[in-house]
Amino acid sequence: MTMFRMGEAAELLGVSADTVRRWVDAGRLAAGRQGHRVIDGVALAAFVRTQAGDPDDRADESSARNRLRGIVTAVRKDAVMAQVDIQAGPFRVVSLMSREAVDDLGLSVGSVAIAVIKSTTVVVERPPTGAGRSNGS
């Protein structure tokens, strides 16, 4: 069973450790004790699922379920193509598209955009040992 310290849970959720402590103290997130307060990985996953929401109201109009709302941090354009960088929480998403698409969407640094990701390949890796405590494995 994977157990997370408060700081580890906070890092995974992109919030401060104080926010996680407040959620635990308010009874919104269950925590146990192993010398210090820890959160069971299954409980953390269930909590995250209850907090998740669609970044926009168009999610039911598309089969793509990976939608990350963020702010455009860079736009690089040449005569035909463009690169758009979006910061969505702790994640940087880079999209290559036509210059025409960037112009049509009116994308510029500081504008809000939603990165919609539909992929046939998603690579899943395990973090280095020590990221998330595991009992008995």
The model's pLDDT over 81-106, given as tens digits with 9 standing for 90+, comes to 999 999 988 889 999 999 999 999 99
Q: Going along 6-135, which residue ranges are E strands?
A: 32-33, 37-40, 66-77, 81-88, 91-98, 112-117, 133-134
pLDDT on residue 35: 86
Summary mean pLDDT of the chain: 86
pLDDT on residue 56: 61
Check if the beta carbon of residue 89 is closer than 8 Å to that of residue 115: no
Residue 115 to residues 33, 41, 92, 99, Cα–Cα distance (Å) = 39, 28, 10, 17
Residues forming beta bridges with residue 116, ordered by sequence position = 67
Collapsing DSSP to helix, strand or coil, 111 comes out as: coil
Averaged pLDDT for residues 30-56: 83
